[in-house]
Amino acid sequence: MKKEKLLFLLIFCLVFIGACGNNDTAGTEKSDKDKQKDTMQEEYVEGPLTKVGQKKKGEDGQLYELKKIKVVDQTTDLDPLIVTIQDVKIFSITNISNDLLESYQEGIKLKLKDPINYIQISYSAENKGKIDLLWPQISHIILNTKEQVNAKENNIVESGEWDLFAGAKKDITQGIIFESDPKDIKEITFVLNDSIGNGAVVTPKKKVKVTF
């Protein structure tokens, strides 16, 4: 009788220990999955990219990565035109399908390939004068690598109409493609276009330099 009880207790203990081992393994597997999930959440950002190295997945599977960022908050007074640059970001787009690459190429003069690098500048323009202005925004960018890019012919972000009515202010974002290596970009000169009012030049071209 005692032997039967001992045998029963031995079997019970073995089953109990095995169950505990399975629970520990399941707990470990769950923990690993949670870690993997957290890693994926950290890798791709929802919303604007604000820190270097952050990535965002586009609707067509393309990946956007923020390479550099400079908060500028610099105002240029061209009386009556006031231009305030908020920030400048350098992006790289990778994992681009052939169809998407063809779509990007439309209206762009530079020959595109994966990756696509572009400079995004966010700024505001205010017309403090009494006449309406036609202002074609940024005409060119000049990089410290000696590359010069025509912004109007290589704009990947729709920047809106050029009309700037008297007393009006609007926010503008331009995305200008370039060919240099992003890591080599230390300085960008933005050429602000001249503005026209009543058929005459109201404000001249102006160069604004941003250093990273």
| pLDDT tens for each residue of 2-13 | 445 444 444 544
Q: For 59-101, what is each residue's pLDDT tens digit?
A: 999 999 999 999 999 999 999 999 999 999 999 999 999 999 9
pLDDT of 5 reads 47
Give bridge partners of residue 209 from the DSSP assignment.
189
- Note whether 134 and 162 are within 8 A (CB): yes
Of residues 75, 201, 192, the one with CA closest to residue 133? 201
CA distance 151 to 38: 39
With tokens 């160069």, the residue in question is: 207
pLDDT, averaged across the chain: 87
Tens-place pLDDT, residues 194-204: 999 999 999 99
- 45-65 tens-digit pLDDT: 888 999 999 999 999 999 999
